[in-house]
Amino acid sequence: MKKILVVDDDRTLRSFVARYLENHGYTVQDASSGIEALQFFEQDPPDLVVSDVIMPEMNGLEFCRRLRATRLGQLVPFIFLSGKGELEDRIQGHLMGADDYVTKPFEPRELVAKIEAQLERSRRIHCEIVRLMQQLSPSTANSPSAADLETLNSTQISTASSAAAAPQALPLTPAEARVFWEVIQGLTNKQISDRLFISPRTVQSHLSNILTKLELENRSQLVRFAFERGYQPPTKA
C-alpha cells in the first residue's frame, strides 16, 4: 500500500484529502507545515508528497527546495496543491522541483489521477531497470527500486558486466553491513527497520555512515556502487 504525505496548514482541507485518499487505498500521513513534513520525511519517507504552497514558518516552495536537497527526497514524486494558480506560480512550483501542480478549488478525482500517474511513472522506471538488469543477471532482478535507480542508465549497467568477480571487503561494522545489503535491494528506511527490528532513525544513521565511508553522496550512488562491483545480497536458504 503506497503512502502519501499530505502537507497543508488548513486542518479541514488536510483531513478531507487524507480521508479521500485513504478511501482510494492509500496510507496517508499529514503535516501542518513544511518543517513538520521534513521531520516526518526523514523518519519514514513516503512514496509521494502532496503539499500546499502558502503555509506559515516554511512555505511549500521552500519545503520542496529543501526536500530536493536531501538524499532521500531527490526523486520522490511531488505535487503542489495550491490556491495560487497563476501561470507564474505554477512555473515557479515546477522550477522548484515539483512534478505536478493542482490549483484550488480542485476536483478530488483529478488529484487522485495525478497521484496515480506519478506512481505509475515510478513503477515503469522500476520495471525498465529490472529488465535491463535481468539481461545481466536474473538473480538481481528484484533488487533495485525506482527511487534508488532512476539515474542508472544502460551505459552504466553495461559497465557493471566487466566488474571484478570477487568484490573487496566492505569497511563497515556488522550493523552497517546489514543495512547495506537491505538498501541495495531497494528497501526504504521503514522497510529496513521492520526487517532488522531497529528504528528508521537508526537505519538513517547507519546509512549516513555507509555513504561517508564509501565516499558516496546518495542511495542511487550506493546501489550503483554495489552493482558495478559485484556485491549481491546473500541468498537465503
Which tens digit of pLDDT belongs to each residue from 115-145?
999 888 877 766 766 666 666 554 444 555 5
Q: All 3 cell numbers of residue 226?
A: 554495489
Query: Does residue 100 have a pLDDT over 80?
Result: yes
Rounded to 5°, the CA angle 183-154-164 comes to 65
In whole angstroms, what is the distance from residue 101 CA to residue 79 CA? Answer: 6
Least confident segment among 3-7, 19-23, 61-65, 140-144? 140-144
Tell me: the pLDDT tens digits for 56-73? 889 999 999 999 888 778
Residues 135-171 have pLDDT tens digits of: 655 444 455 554 444 444 443 444 434 333 445 778 9
CA distances from 143 to 1, 35, 121, 190 (A): 19, 33, 18, 17
> Is the predicted pLDDT of residue 217 greater than 70, yes or no?
yes
> What does the DSSP assignment read for 122-168?
HHHHHHHHHHHHHTT-GGGTTS--HHHHTT--HHHHHHHTTS-SSPP
C-beta separation of 186 from 147 below 8 A:
yes
Q: Where in the chain is the domain with CATH 3.40.50.2300?
A: 3-123, 139-228
Helical spans, DSSP H, in the chain: 11-23, 34-43, 60-68, 87-96, 108-134, 146-149, 154-160, 174-183, 189-196, 200-213, 219-228
Cβ-Cβ contacts under 8 Å for 127 (sequence gap 6 or more): none
- What mean pLDDT is predicted for residues 4-26? 94
Q: Which pairs with CB-CB distance under 8 Å and at least 24 residues apart come from 66-72?
A: 66/34, 66/38, 67/37, 67/38, 67/41, 67/97, 68/96, 68/97, 70/41, 70/42, 71/211, 71/217, 71/218, 71/219, 72/41, 72/42, 72/45, 72/189, 72/219
Q: The C-alpha cell of 191 is what?
A: 522497510
User: What is the C-alpha to C-alpha distance for residues 184 and 180, in angstroms, rounded to an integer?
Assistant: 6
Q: Model confidence at 237, in pLDDT bands (50, 70, 90)?
A: very low
Chain centroid to CA 166: 31
CB-facing half-sphere around the CA of 103: CA atoms within 13 A? 8
CATH number of 3-123: 3.40.50.2300
Global pTM reads: 0.57
Does the pLDDT value for residue 178 go beyond 60?
Answer: yes
Q: How far apart are alpha carbons 91 and 115 in whole angstroms? A: 19
- Selected from 3.40.50.720, 2.60.40.10, 3.40.640.10, 3.40.50.2300, the CATH number assigned to the domain covering 139-228 reads 3.40.50.2300
